Amino acid sequence: MPDKWDDDGQTEGGENPAIAFTLKDRIEELKRPLMSGGSLFALLMLAAMLLASKDLYRRLSVEWSHRTVAIVAEYKDVVSLAKQSGSTPPLVLAELAKRGVRGLTVQEFTGRDLANGAMPLVYGPLTSMPRQVSAGTGLPPGSASILIDRSAPALPAILEYLNLKMPQSERRESGSQVLIVLPGTVDEFGDAGILPDFEALRFAQEERIASIFRPSPAPGTGSDRIAAAVAWVKNRFPSMACILPSGQIVAGYPDFAPLAAVLKENGISTAQAEFVRQVGAGALYGAVKPDILPLHSIVKDELVSRLLTRSQVVERMVRAAHERSIRLLLMRPYELYAAGRLPLFLDDLGRIHDSLASRGYSFGWPQTIPLFDAGPLSALAVAFVFTACFWFHARRYAGRAEKRASALEAGALVAFAVALGLAAYEIAAVRRLLGGVTAALAATEATIWALDRYKKPFAGLFAGLLIVLAGGLAVAAFYGTAQAMLRLTPFSGVKLTLLLPPLLILSNDLKQRVHPESLSQIMRRPSQWGELFLVAFLLAAAFVLTVRSDNVSSVPGWEISFREMMERALGVRPRTKEFLVGYPCLVIYHALVRRGWAVRYREVFRVGSSIAFASAVNAFCHFHTLLPLTVTRVINGWWLGLVVGFVAIVLIDYIGGPVWRKGGREIFE
């Protein structure tokens, strides 16, 4: 008790003992155990889901309101099919339109095309032109030149177009002939765009079908000239709805401001060719966003190298639209159609049309998605997932996973998550780093929750799936913006999501002695043959997974066929590494623990289990895939992987056990 009191009932130091006692008592109450760590973890993950719901709903609304697809054909193929079938281009186009064709590509003829007779004119070096027209020009003899009759219907359009795109061109007239000398040599204009296919543009205009103009770069032609040429084409042929840059370098590179201004002013979208690399493509897409329409096509080299069949081509197109939100499908009458090209081509188009229509897609000219960003609530959602996973993993690593958490600890976690979420929303560097780490931590926690509940395996399996869904959906809500859906801002944590979980799990298991030996004990004793084999296998698997991630070219043909079979059987194909590797490892681990087998080798199955959960969370980071499809793919991989795992247990019981007892133990140990 204090010896002296002032008039207000305070001590001489100015402190009211009743108030001090109350605050101290309150703090002690907050420090008392409130709930289990697992319950607090679950509440934080549930809060993340509620915070992410608004942006998830907006993304779903965008996805479901943009389900219009257009199949696109090349004008030259329409003409070729008409000639081979004894029909006319309008009649062939009418048949194509019945099967979903809503656009025609129109190329810009290069010097090589003109030399091969693409237009009714003469193209070649100046020295090959008649002397009465070319004499006295004073120009290099190798200059690319066009000779055309004055009465040619296309002459006015040719002169107007070249005056806009290449004003440095020189024009000479002699009698009934007109000579146009381009500002460059024949070699320079071999792959350079010179003149558009006026006949194709006129045909598309008359048939009232959208045309996709394919401008090509030309030597000495800047972006302002390219923009002027594109604007001229749009004014003369209003059916032009889209451009698809041709060539290895995008026309107008490196300054796309004039071209982007013309495209936006005239309502012209830009086709984004999937898996095609062009210098300057990314800069152009960034300048015209969000007026971008993703396009998928199959080139001849891929058709031959992968030995694709007609059915595989059809399935590739359907998957591109349904799984990757591709809205323009460029189909060609491939070399697979050796005879009867038109009927076979129509049959394939019909199969694509019917398959997509059965999935709820309509056919017409697609609209580009609106530009939208994620709000602060989804930033908080990701921060809550990060906080929950990091906190619980740290508690487990320190051996405190079973201890109860206090209200004070819960309040501190919420405050930290809010601060982190606001920082991620405002600071780009924090935003980029947080996504990959959060996805990796969510995959790690899902794996360990599923592994450590081997006494109640089904509870563990469901817990792991729920953590994957919560973490993946939070990441999808915050990072799945319009730019990410258009592949303009790729997710920077894909590799981290795949590689970090195995390392975290291995570190935790060695620290907590889940594995019977510590790292120092393993390093001091001689290696065993079984361990060397498993280490080599794990390193090879990690390398393959890293290389194959987002790398379509590294997938062999037999696996493509297997994937297509799974697609037909399940509707949405699960990821191979989930249902054939990761989840079976999880089921086998549970079986080994319950049977008391292979104590030294269980760790390989624990680490292998992380492949499934890392891959599942990683699936949510493919923002161009429809969100319901991603959820379905993850669930399909989960249940199918469990089925494969149970089959593996049967094989282990009836084959592995006898082999182990009859000498397998000696080989490995």
CATH of the domain at 236: 3.20.20.370
- For the segment 509-526, the average pLDDT, to the nearest whole number, is 70
The CA distances from residue 25 to 19, 30, 33, 473, in Å, are 10, 9, 15, 41
User: Is 10 contained in some domain?
Assistant: no
- Nearest one of 342, 430, 428, 444 to 396, comparing CA atoms: 444
Would you state the structure tokens that stand for residue 363, as one six-digit string?
A: 């056919």
User: Do 511 and 381 share a structural domain?
Assistant: yes
User: Do 650 and 622 share a structural domain?
Assistant: yes
Is 224 a residue whose pLDDT tops 60? yes
User: What's the pLDDT at 104?
Assistant: 98
Is 393 a residue whose pLDDT tops 70? yes
| 549: region left, alpha or beta (phi > 0 left; psi from -120 to 50 alpha) | beta
Q: Whole-angstrom Cα distance, residue 80 to residue 82?
A: 5
User: Do 91 and 207 share a structural domain?
Assistant: yes
Q: What is the model's pTM?
A: 0.85
Mode of pairing for the β-strands spanning 143-149 and 122-125: antiparallel
User: Do 624 and 540 share a structural domain?
Assistant: yes
* pLDDT tier for residue 139 given thresholds of 50, 70 and 90: confident
> Of the candidates 363, 398, 417, which is a domain's last residue?
363
User: Do 603 and 527 share a structural domain?
Assistant: yes
> Of the candidates 340, 363, 386, which is a domain's last residue?
363
* pLDDT tier for residue 305 given thresholds of 50, 70 and 90: confident
| Residue type, position 599, single letter | V
User: What's the pLDDT at 383?
Assistant: 98
User: Is 11 contained in some domain?
Assistant: no
Would you state the structure tokens that stand for residue 610, as one six-digit string?
A: 């992380």
Is 548 a residue whose pLDDT tops 90? no
Count CA within 13 A, CB hemisphere, residue 509: 27
User: What does the mean pLDDT of the chain come to?
Assistant: 87
Asked whether the beta carbons of 392 and 445 are under 8 A apart, the reply is yes
45 against 7, higher pLDDT: 45
Q: How many domains does the chain have?
A: 2
Sign of CA dihedral 533, 535, 541, 543: negative
Q: Whole-angstrom Cα distance, residue 446 to residue 435?
A: 17
Edge-to-edge strand list for the sheet holding 122-125: 122-125, 143-149, 177-185, 170-174
Give the tens place of pLDDT for each residue, 590-647. Answer: 988 888 877 777 888 898 899 999 999 999 999 989 999 999 999 999 999 999 999 9
User: Do 208 and 99 share a structural domain?
Assistant: yes
User: What's the pLDDT at 15?
Assistant: 54
Backbone phi, then psi, for 69, in 5-degree steps?
-120, 145
CA angle 107, 110, 114 (to 5 degrees): 105
Is 49 a residue whose pLDDT tops 50? yes
> Of the candidates 333, 363, 393, which is a domain's last residue?
363
Mode of pairing for the β-strands spanning 210-214 and 240-243: parallel
User: Do 624 and 592 share a structural domain?
Assistant: yes
Is 7 a residue whose pLDDT tops 50? no
* pLDDT tier for residue 516 given thresholds of 50, 70 and 90: low
User: Do 314 and 289 share a structural domain?
Assistant: yes
Q: Name the least confident of 72-76, 325-329, 491-495.
A: 491-495
Backbone phi, then psi, for 264, in 5-degree steps?
-70, -40
Q: Whole-angstrom Cα distance, residue 153 to residue 464?
A: 70
User: What's the pLDDT at 617?
Assistant: 95
Q: Which of 470-474, 518-522, 534-538 has the highest mean pLDDT?
A: 470-474
User: Is 429 contained in some domain?
Assistant: yes
User: What's the pLDDT at 91?
Assistant: 97
Q: Whole-angstrom Cα distance, residue 276 to residue 249?
A: 11
User: What's the pLDDT at 550?
Assistant: 45
User: Do 419 and 316 share a structural domain?
Assistant: no
3-class secondary-structure state, position 479: helix
Is 551 a residue whose pLDDT tops 50? no
User: What's the pLDDT at 368?
Assistant: 95
In the block, which residue shows the tokens 């398959």?
Answer: 355
- Nearest one of 474, 631, 628 to 67, comparing CA atoms: 628
User: What's the pLDDT at 557?
Assistant: 59
The CA distances from residue 489 to 253, 382, 432, in Å, are 20, 18, 10
Asked whether the beta carbons of 233 and 262 are under 8 A apart, the reply is no
Omega of the bond leading into 290 within 30 degrees of 0 (cis): yes
Is 538 a residue whose pLDDT tops 90? no
Mode of pairing for the β-strands spanning 292-297 and 269-273: parallel
Is 456 a residue whose pLDDT tops 60? yes
- For the segment 141-162, the average pLDDT, to the nearest whole number, is 94
User: Do 388 and 276 share a structural domain?
Assistant: no
Asked whether the beta carbons of 641 and 580 are under 8 A apart, the reply is yes
Question: What DSSP state is assigned to residue 516?
Answer: S
User: Is 7 contained in some domain?
Assistant: no
Cβ neighbours, 10 Å, residue 112: 15
Mode of pairing for the β-strands spanning 101-110 and 193-196: antiparallel
Count CA within 13 A, CB hemisphere, residue 311: 6
Q: Whole-angstrom Cα distance, residue 101 to residue 77?
A: 13
User: Is 165 contained in some domain?
Assistant: no
Is 20 a residue whose pLDDT tops 60? no
Residue 233 lies in domain = 68-109+200-363
User: What's the pLDDT at 34?
Assistant: 78
Rounded percentage of the chain residues whose pLDDT exceeds 70: 86
Is 519 a residue whose pLDDT tops 90? no
User: What's the pLDDT at 1?
Assistant: 41
Asked whether the beta carbons of 184 and 244 are under 8 A apart, the reply is no
Query: What dihedral do alpha carbons 128, 130, 135, 137 form, nearest 10°?
Result: -60
* pLDDT tier for residue 21 given thresholds of 50, 70 and 90: low
User: What's the pLDDT at 376?
Assistant: 96
Q: Whole-angstrom Cα distance, residue 400 to residue 590?
A: 23
User: Do 458 and 601 share a structural domain?
Assistant: yes
User: What's the pLDDT at 546?
Assistant: 54
Asked whether the beta carbons of 109 and 118 are under 8 A apart, the reply is yes
Q: Residue 464, class by beta-carbon neighbours within 10 Å (0-12 exposed, 13-18 middle, 19+ buried)? A: buried
Q: Whole-angstrom Cα distance, residue 514 to residue 510?
A: 6
Give the tens place of pLDDT for each residue, 461-485. Answer: 999 999 999 999 999 999 999 999 9
User: Is 81 contained in some domain?
Assistant: yes
User: Is 262 contained in some domain?
Assistant: yes
* pLDDT tier for residue 2 given thresholds of 50, 70 and 90: very low
Q: Give DSSP secondary structure letters for 577-628.
A: HIIIIIHHHHHHHHHHHHHT--GGGHHHHHHHHHHHHHHHHHHTT-TTS-HH
- N-to-C CA span, the chain: 71
User: Do 407 and 460 share a structural domain?
Assistant: yes
Would you state the structure tokens that stand for residue 189, as one six-digit string?
A: 């204009």
Q: Give DSSP secondary structure letters for 265-303.
A: HTT-EEEEETT---BTHHHHHHHHTT-EEEEEE--HHHH
User: Is 207 contained in some domain?
Assistant: yes
147 against 537, higher pLDDT: 147
3-class secondary-structure state, position 141: coil
